[in-house]
Chains A and B, each alone.
Chain A
Amino acid sequence: MLLLLTALVAVSLVSLLIGAGSVGPGRALSLLSGAQDSEAHFIVWELRAPRTLIGIVVGMALGVAGALLQAVARNPLAEPGLLGVSAGAAFAVALALVLGASAATLRISVAQLGALVGCVCVLSVARFRGVGNDPIRLVLAGAAFSGLLASLTSLILLYDQRAADEIRFWVIGSLAGRRLDDLFAVLPSMLVASVVVALIARPLAALALGERVASGLGHHPNLIRWLVIACVALLVGAATAIAGPIAFVGLVVPFVARALAGPDIRRTLWFCLPIGPLIVLAADIISRVVVAPSELPLGVLTALCGAPVLIAVVRARRLPML
């Protein structure tokens, strides 16, 4: 854990030092050690610092949401990006943009509502249709759901060309050009989600032992499930509202966290907190340098790196049942 935190601090520092612009690591480093350099000051503190902070928050939210969703679906492949929960949030935002919304606060509530609807759709598929027992079929259902939402988003794009610029921004997640105001706007809902997660971590761990055991211990399995869904919606909605849909982070982070922390969801959740930001920031740093002086959207990079991980997980002989 200490190692992870050290790594997170290191990656955050690198995130301040490296970018697509003319201010290289050397110049940024001398700025941090006190040199006067107004251009470097602007680029490091007003461009790279906010996106680093936002990356940390988004990584935490997506990692925790992924772990929660996997626990409640009892499926290691349940991932907000893969199952269309992010797509639901992005679609809701796109719809709101077309209908004329632009205020940051409205965008967040809309994204969270979209994520909630996406979450409920996905889990009803998982629980009520018996798909949940087969991880691959759940992923297929999620892919179909994501495809549906993507085509609906395209439909909006065709219907309203004027919103096309803004919607394109939503189709693939990115941290470029995001403002701290957006981050502050989502913080309250993330705090609410964290408190709820803290409260339900114990019952959720009990639920992993089976419904009867959990009931026997005095918990209410259905209530817990609904609270978890609400938390996932709050977290994914908030992350999507700031950064757009970012695929695979919610899959990879809990996967690594479980490998390090073992099967207990409470330990896994703690490990997700540094691992999420680590992965998001690393991907964001790469997205800045590969096509400089332009930037690649972060979502493209996580999708590129995440897809092989998904295949590896699926092909692994022993798919852990949660």
Chain B
Amino acid sequence: MLVKTTSMAATLAKSGRLGMVGILLSIFVAGSVQARTLETAFGDVDVEGTPERVVTLYEGALDAAVAAGVNPLGAVTTRGGDNVASYIEAHLGEHPPAIMGVVREINIEAVLAQQPDLILAPAQLSDEQYQLLSRIAPTVVPPTQPLAPDNWKAEARLYGEALNRQAAIAEAIEAVEQRAAEVAKAVEEAGVGGSAFLVRWMPGGPMVMSENLFSAGLLAQAGLDVQDAGLVGERGVHSDVLSLENLSQVDGDWLFLATLNEDGQAAVDAAKQSSAFTRLNVVQQDHVVPVDGQLWTSANGPLAAQAILDDIEAALLP
């Protein structure tokens, strides 16, 4: 009797302990899924669960979020425009994000008004702005600093992790890689290729864009030899406006001509008024490709990559 009681008590105690351990374990396991620690430019940032109210303050972050299936509540305008880039509007459906200002001048009050539970910010976010934004919600700033053509992948993965949609981002990046390889193969088979310059046409002449730019990286992946004639400094995004006397420096096999607005053809027309431009070999061969500057010189991310690859395909492959 006594033994029985003791053993019962022991069993009870045992199962109780087991239950406790089980509960603790389940909390621990759930916790490891729910709260993630991200390595950001401003140290480790904890994000819990799957954020619903997301604000993006960078075109690459908007792109990554949309690619991962999240429609942000707020976003910044594209450079040279007063809304998000038009290539991404098609993906946004009926709920376009509210405008939070421009990337260099973020409207903190507008961000606060959205009551976000996650803020995805650009790598260039200033310390002051980070201090303000991180008081509103966990703010994810990618630790990517030097300009490099494949920065977007690491950034997109970080944003995807913050959004708790790692798989969707990995899939989107993989799709871009595959597509780029296909385009490269087709370009090689068509025997086009050669050297390429990416410039932004200004009324006084062209700005040569860096070969480290996102879109330049995709051109290179597609098989073109992207150059900047040594005119763009290590960390610069583009050169100064080149003197018309030096236009021959951008006379390669292909010239991708962008403007700040989406009307690339207007830029070509403007450039063609200059005899210094029309005498270039690349112009006479009709190898000038007008491109949307919002997409080509400002955007970033898996959706932008697909759109740029569309453009490359249309331009190089008959």
Contacts and interface: CB of A to CB of B under 8 A. Distances in A.
Contact of A43 (B80, B242, B245, B249): B245
A226 interface: no
A23 interface: yes
Interface in B243-284: 243-246, 248-249, 259-261, 263, 273-276, 279
Nearest to A169: B203
B46 interface: no
Contacts of B243: 19-21, 176, 288, 292-295
A39 B251 CA distance: 13
A164 B162 CA distance: 36
B204 A176 contact: yes
A39 B242 CA distance: 17
A291 interface: yes
A46 B260 contact: no
B260 A161 contact: yes
A47 B260 contact: no
Given A21-B243, A164-B260, A174 B204 contact: yes
B202 A295 contact: no
Given A174-B204, A177-B274, A294 B245 contact: no
Interface in A167-223: 168-169, 174, 176-177, 179
A176 B242 contact: no
Which bucket holds chain B's interface residue count? 20 to 34
A177 B248 contact: no
Interface residues of A, number: 29
A284 to B, nearest CB: 12
Contacts of A164: 80, 260
A134 interface: no
Contact of A293 (B80, B202, B249, B261): B249
B275 A161 contact: no
A169 B245 contact: no
B240 interface: yes
A177 B245 contact: no
A317 interface: no
B203 A177 contact: yes
B241 interface: yes
A23 B202 CA distance: 23
Interface in B118-173: none
Interface in A33-91: 39, 42-43, 46-48
A293 B204 contact: no
Interface in B165-207: 202-205
B240 A165 contact: no
A174 B203 CA distance: 11
B241 A295 contact: yes
B282 to A, nearest CB: 16
Nearest to A181: B273
B244 A176 contact: yes
A6 interface: no
Given A47-B245, A294-B239, A179 B203 contact: no
B138 to A, nearest CB: 32
Contacts of A19: 243, 245
A291 B240 contact: yes
A39 B248 CA distance: 10
Contacts of B203: 165-166, 168-169, 177
A285 B92 CA distance: 51
Contacts of A177: 203-205, 244, 274, 276
Interface of B: 80-82, 202-205, 231, 239-246, 248-249, 259-261, 263, 273-276, 279
20 contacts: A19-B243, A20-B246, A22-B248, A39-B248, A47-B244, A161-B82, A164-B80, A164-B260, A165-B203, A168-B203, A169-B204, A177-B205, A179-B273, A292-B246, A293-B231, A293-B246, A293-B249, A294-B243, A295-B241, A297-B204
Interface of A: 19-23, 39, 42-43, 46-48, 161-162, 164-166, 168-169, 174, 176-177, 179, 288, 291-295, 297
